Chain A
């Protein structure tokens, strides 16, 4: 089981602000990293799957970067909107089956 840390635990931002959060994980035996968006009372929704050092992925106003050598990934949200309010989970994997979820960063966007 990997030691996965996400920071901050929670975050309040004003509508229109840009924000970012961090996922830290052990860099050895890295296989892939998943980012999920999880709204209350719903199931987690996959945002990105990243595998290569230096990977950058983008989906609308949300983007992510990956550094496997130092063991971190950043998730960025540009121009936050109220509908971005959710918990953002990262899940690094040592292999297909060895996936560990972080406890998430809970984002609240204030209109």
Chain B
């Protein structure tokens, strides 16, 4: 039982490149979330999903896309990377009595 697994852990992108951050969970949770954490700031919600096939925008969705074709996977896609997307990204599952975060992806856009 691995919980929430994020890949990659680190990535450097050039401006304008694209990439997908992977998030997989083996806890059969319906609710999955993507957050970003900027230095000195709290966690901000990018997108969330309440189940396979259902996604919705959070507080800071611009520049990102998500999909949820299965309960297990919730990838986050960055199109046309910009320096403002330099951040640490966390995938999480949250339920009424438990919550788990992935290890985080440190992304730098240069």
Contact = CB atoms under 8 A, between A and B. Distances in A.
B49 to A, nearest CB: 9
Interface stretch (A11-19, A64-72, A73-81, A99-107): A99-107
Chain A contact residues: helix, strand, loop or mixed: loop
Contacts, number: 52
Q: How many of chain A's residues touch chain B, expressed as a range?
A: 20 to 34
A49 B90 contact: no
- The dominant DSSP class at the B interface is strand
Given A43-B102, A104-B42, A99 B33 contact: yes
Contact of B96 (A45, A51, A99, A100): A51
A93 B99 CA distance: 13
Interface residues of B, number: 25
B43 to A, nearest CB: 4
Interface string B68-110: 0000000000000000000000101011111111111000000
A104 B38 CA distance: 13
A96 B102 contact: no
A52 to B, nearest CB: 12
Contact of B97 (A1, A45, A49, A101): A49
Interface of B: 31, 33, 35, 41-45, 48, 50, 56, 59, 90, 92, 94-104
**Ranked 3 nearest A-B pairs via Cβ:** A103-B42, A43-B101, A101-B43
5 contacts: A43-B101, A91-B43, A99-B94, A101-B44, A104-B42
